[in-house]
Amino acid sequence: MDKVVLRVRMSLHDAHYGGNLVDGAKVLQLFGDVATELLIRNDGDEGLFKAYDNIEFVAPVYAGDFIEITGEILSQGRTSRKMSFTAAKVIRSRGDINDSAAEVLEEPIVVCRASGTCVVPLEKQRFKRDG
């Protein structure tokens, strides 16, 4: 199955809380963007996100951080697509040094993991699959 990667810089516009902390909902929005690309590649249609069955926020995200979102389809039924997602910080803002300092991380820091199910109605699936 395809794997999709999206890299995004969090801006001050994304910050929602004190200290330029980014709302976790922003990460979930990015998971949705990755899910959409996976469905387009797999089915030729954007499909719909039905539900998350697990979401785990494990580290904070701040304005200025670069986040890499990875998603993949784990399994699929006639209309459902089970997916997993990971968001990892690959560059972090270093406001403690100065207002424009940042550093590339040697090892990415996982900030969120999730899994969920998307659906593509049969009449909207454009790619025929074997089996």
Confidence of residue 1 (pLDDT cuts 50, 70, 90): low
Task: Decide: helix, strand or coil at residue 39.
Answer: helix
CA gap 113, 86 in Å, rounded: 5
AA letter at 119? V
Structure tokens at 26: 């922003």
Average pLDDT over residues 26-44: 95
- Ordered by where they begin, the domains of the chain are 3-122 (3.10.129.10)
pTM: 0.91
Q: Measured in Å, how far apart are the chain's first and last C-alpha atoms? A: 15
Q: Which residues pair with 83 in a beta bridge?
A: 73, 116
- Min mean pLDDT across 56-60, 89-93, 111-115, 124-128 is at 124-128
CA gap 44, 109 in Å, rounded: 33
Is the pLDDT at 114 greater than 60? The verdict is yes
